[in-house]
Amino acid sequence: MSSILFLPPANYTVAVELGFRDSRSKRCWSAGAGFPKRWCPRMRSIRAETAAETFGSRKGESLGPNGECDCDIPGRSAPALSNVGNSTNIAWHECPVGKLERQILLNQKGCVIWITGLSGSGKSTLASALSRELYALGYLSYVLDGDNIRHGLNKDLCFKAQDRAENIRRIGEVAKLFADAGVICIASLISPYRRDRDACRAMLPESIFIEVYMDISLEVCESRDAKGLYKLAREGKIKGFTGVDDTYEPPLNCEIVIAPTDGECPPPGAMAKQVISYLNENGFLKA
C-alpha cells in the first residue's frame, strides 16, 4: 500500500505527535504551521481528513496551541457532569485514539469470548489453548480466569449469590475495556446464572459477546475433580457449590457449544480451532 501524507485541514493549525514509530523507527508527525511534513506510513489505511479529525480534535474542536486537552483551554465550555450509580459529578472524557484506530493497528476486532460451564468442564483448558493458538497466528488476546481475578480485583467477594453476581459484573466491565482496546478477551469462569451472563452481553455493542458453553456432564466433571472441590462439596465442607447444592443454568442461545463426540471430550487443540473458526467466519480476525 502507498503511504499518505498526514495533512490536517486548515482549521487544525497545530502539530500533534502520534504515539507510535514507523518501520524506520522515525516518529510520525502531522503537518502544521511551522512544523516539517513527514510521511505517516502507519496511517495508510485511514483517510487523511479522518485521521486529522481523530488526532487533531476532540468532539470537533481543535487542541490548544500547546497540545493541551480542549477541556483545559480557557473559555472552553465545561464538560457535562453526570451521576452513575453511587458516583456523582463525573464526566466522560473521550480518547483521541478510537476503537477503529486500535483495531487497525492490531489487525483484528476486539471481542469477548465468554466461556461458561461447570467446574471441571475444561473452561481454563480451552482458554489456555485458544490464547496459545491465537498467539501463534499473530493475534493479541488476554485471558480473564475466574480464579485469577479472585486473587486481586475480586478478592473481597465470596460465593454467595449476590457476590457471584458482582463478580460477574466486574469481570464483564473489565472484558468490555479489553474489547474496546481491540483485544480478543477470553473470560473463563463458571458464571452459573443466565441473567448475569445476559447482563454482560448487554454491556457490549455490535454483537461482540461470544458465549461458549462447555456442555460437559456433571458426572464427567465430578470424575475429573482436579481441585478436589466436588469431594469437599459432597462432604458438606463447601456450601453453595455449583452442580451439587447450587444450580447451573445452561445458555439458551449461545454462539458456540463444546460437547463430547461419540462420548469422547474433544482435545484442547480441537476446541480452540472450533472457536477460531467462528472468529474467522465472523470477521474478528481482520480489522
What is the pTM for the complete model shown? 0.74
Q: Would you identify the CATH topology of the domain 108-281?
A: Rossmann fold (3.40.50)
Label residue 210 exposed, middle or buried (CB < 10 Å: 0-12, 13-18, 19+). buried
Tens digit of each residue's pLDDT (9 = 90 or more) over 169-202: 999 999 999 999 999 999 999 999 999 999 999 9
Distance separating alpha carbons of residues 283 and 111, to the nearest angstrom: 11
Grid cell digits, residue 165? 453476581
Catalytic position from the list 128, 191, 217, 223:
191
Q: Name which of 159, 261, 269 is nearest 216 in CA terms.
A: 261
Q: What are phi and psi of 39, to 5 degrees?
A: -65, 150
Tens digit of pLDDT at every position of the chain (287 positions): 433 333 333 333 333 334 443 333 333 434 444 434 333 434 333 433 444 444 444 444 445 555 555 555 566 667 789 898 899 999 888 888 999 999 999 999 999 999 999 999 999 999 999 999 999 999 999 999 999 999 999 999 998 889 999 999 999 999 999 999 999 999 999 999 999 999 999 999 878 999 999 999 999 999 999 899 999 999 999 999 999 999 999 999 999 999 999 889 999 999 999 999 999 999 999 98
Distance separating alpha carbons of residues 53 and 59, to the nearest angstrom: 9
What would you report as the CA-atom Rg of the chain, rounded to the nearest whole angstrom?
Answer: 24
Q: Is 217 in the active site?
A: no
Q: Where are the beta strands (DSSP E) in 56-110?
A: 57-58, 61-62, 82-84, 87-90
Amino acid at 110: G
Distance separating alpha carbons of residues 56 and 40, to the nearest angstrom: 15
285 within 8 A of 134, measured Cβ to Cβ:
no
CB neighbourhood size of 11 (10 A): 11
CB neighbourhood size of 38 (10 A): 16
- The domain segmentation of the chain, as residue ranges, is 108-281
Distance separating alpha carbons of residues 47 and 243, to the nearest angstrom: 54
